[in-house]
Amino acid sequence: MMGRLLVTGGAGFIGSHIIDTALEAGWEVAALDNLSTGSRDNLPGDVPLYEVDLRHPEAVHAAVADFRPTVISHQAAQASVSVSVRQPVLDADINILGGLNLLMAAHHYGTERVIFASTGGAIYGEVDAGRADESAPVRPYSPYATSKLAFEYYLQTFYQQWGLEFTVLRYANVYGPRQNPHGEAGVVAIFTARLQAGLPLQINAREEPGDDGCVRDYVYVGDVARANLRAATGQIPRLMNVGTGAETTTRQLAQQLAATLGRPAELEFGPHRSGDLKRSVLDPGMSRAALGEPLDLTAGLQHLANWLEART
Ligand SMILES: NC(=O)c1ccc[n+]([C@@H]2O[C@H](COP(=O)([O-])OP(=O)(O)OC[C@H]3O[C@@H](n4cnc5c(N)ncnc54)[C@H](O)[C@@H]3O)[C@@H](O)[C@H]2O)c1
């Protein structure tokens, strides 16, 4: 038995993959989630779920007191940039104050380590050329980026004050099975749902309508889960990007996904979406050294297609 891992946001997209990977590796696992965007169906039936909102300190403390995790993988969040712009107080309430409720409970009940789902995409801002490595300047231009960065600093503080170990993982754009298509983020999930429904795919402009769209670094969710598991045993640096370093335009993604799913790609072109980064690519050097080569987009989309196929 490896230890006891509590995954907040465990009923969500990334959290549920962390749970699958942790179970395979022999961890005792539980999820904490308020099911606001996650679903019980994402969890294996025998995994305990604490249906708790991070904003309720007593409930968070009761869950941590009951499960007594050795490690917490903190994935639960208000995870939408545009919601954070419209409702910065809500974003901070969940991502900063809710996170602090969790850290207080972790400290109080003797958790050894907290792993945090941070965001390379939002924290580095525009990456005009090359790739952002972990020492790149931070430019938190959305309330979401600011709340994630603030929590990174709180982790430092809890470590300095009380010795609570931590790992910050700054994810690129994550995709894979179980991603929720019902938002405005998660372009792979949105395009997948539209292709399956025979609907056109919209390429929002990088500069002008009709161009190839914004540039992103798409990382497969299985690699993100592996990074979390490796972090759980303290085998990776305190701050690490989780990306591939490969750059993909929205048009390339649309065409490659359509080809992988065997569907025709009908493209539509929209204007630049205000607030969207034009280019975001992460340096994968550190995570490659820790975890090996990440899956490339071709292999990752094929995994997604196989999963979709198995469901029908
Ligand atoms: N998906 C990406 O590309 C990406 C990129 C960078 C960082 N992240 C971060 O990774 C984490 C997981 O994201 P995801 O894509 O799996 O999103 P998701 O929405 O599928 O998962 C988030 C989970 O947190 C839960 N949750 C939300 N608010 C809560 C609250 N107040 N109390 C308890 N639970 C709450 C939701 O119900 C959901 O199950 C988030 O912290 C997100 O900010 C994601």
**What's residue 2's pLDDT?**
82
Mean pLDDT of the chain: 96
The residue-averaged pLDDT of 255-272 equals 96
Q: Which among 1, 266, 286, 248 has a CA at the least distance from the CA of 170?
A: 286
Quick one: CA dihedral 229, 74, 49, 104, positive or negative? positive
Q: Which among 75, 5, 21 has a CA at the least distance from the CA of 232?
A: 5
The answer on pLDDT for 1 being more than 70 is: no
The phi and psi torsions of 153 (rounded to 5 degrees) equal: -70, -40
Distance 78 CA to ligand 1 centre (A): 6
Residues composing the chain: 312
- CB 115 near ligand 1, within 6 Å: no
- CB 76 near ligand 1, within 6 Å: yes
207 CB neighbour count, 10 Å cutoff: 12
Read off the pLDDT of residues 221-251 as tens digits, 9 standing for 90 and up: 999 999 999 999 999 999 999 999 999 999 9
- Most ligand 1 atoms within 8 A of CB, residue of 8, 20, 32, 36 to mutate: 36
The phi and psi torsions of 62 (rounded to 5 degrees) equal: -65, -40
Residues 70, 75, 80, CA angle at the centre, nearest 5°? 165
At position 145, the amino acid (one-letter code) is A
The answer to whether residue 50 is catalytic is: no
From the candidates 50, 124, 144, 171, give the one annotated as an active-site residue: 144
Name the closest-CA residue to atom 6, ligand 1: 119
At residue 147 the predicted structure's pLDDT band, cuts being 50, 70 and 90, is very high
Distance CA 153, CA 281 (A): 23
Quick one: CA dihedral 293, 214, 128, 145, positive or negative? negative
Distance 208 CA to ligand 1 centre (A): 31
What region, left, alpha or beta, does residue 136 occupy, with left being phi > 0 and alpha being psi -120 to 50 degrees? Answer: beta
- CB 174 near ligand 1, within 6 Å: yes
Percent of the chain scoring above 70 in pLDDT:
99
- CB 224 near ligand 1, within 6 Å: no
At residue 181 the predicted structure's pLDDT band, cuts being 50, 70 and 90, is confident
Beta bridge mates, 5? 29, 71
- CB 75 near ligand 1, within 6 Å: yes
CA distances to 110, 111, 122, 300 from 4, in Å: 12, 9, 31, 29
Read off the pLDDT of residues 2-45 as tens digits, 9 standing for 90 and up: 899 999 999 999 999 999 999 999 999 999 999 999 999 999 99
Which domains does the chain show, CATH number per domain? Answer: 4-173+220-242 (3.40.50.720), 175-217+246-311 (3.90.25.10)
For residues 91-114, b (16+ Cβ closer than 10 Å) or e, as one string? bbebbeebbbbbbebbbeeebebb
